[in-house]
Amino acid sequence: MVTADVERVLRSVSVPNDARLEISGAAKEQQESFMYLGLAALVAVLLVYMVMASQFESLVDPFIIIFTVPLSFIGSCWDWY
């Protein structure tokens, strides 16, 4: 949020041709960390699917189970309130 605001303000600043402005430091590391976190989540889902497919000996059943897990969280949170 703050990084996007800073980038928006930096776009309006005039800079000489031989200079450049870029976001670095903690904001850059945070973006990289979230990218790696997303990649790790994708690999984890793929590995879980592969294990489930080998256990169930089916390619469809793991899809059904994986896609209904978020719905179960919605239902449990709705029931909790």
Q: What is the predicted pLDDT for the residue at 54?
A: 97
Burial of 53 (0-12, 13-18, 19+ CB in 10 A): middle
Q: What does the pLDDT read at residue 81? A: 62
How far, rounded to the nearest angstrom, does the alpha carbon of residue 51 sit from its chain's CA centroid?
22
In a domain, 3, yes or no: no
Q: What is the pLDDT of residues 37-74, one digit of tens each?
A: 999 999 999 999 999 999 999 999 999 999 998 888 88
- Asked, for residue 17, whether it belongs to a domain, the answer is no
pLDDT computed for residue 6 by the predictor: 86
Q: Is residue 33 included in any domain, yes or no?
A: yes
Q: Give the chain's domain count.
A: 1
**pTM, to two decimals:** 0.66
Classify residue 4: in a domain, yes or no. no
Whether 1 maps to a domain, the answer reads no
By residue range, what is the domain housing residue 33? 24-80
On whether the CB atoms of residues 50 and 66 are closer than 8 A, the answer is no
Spacing of C-alpha 23 from chain mean position? 20
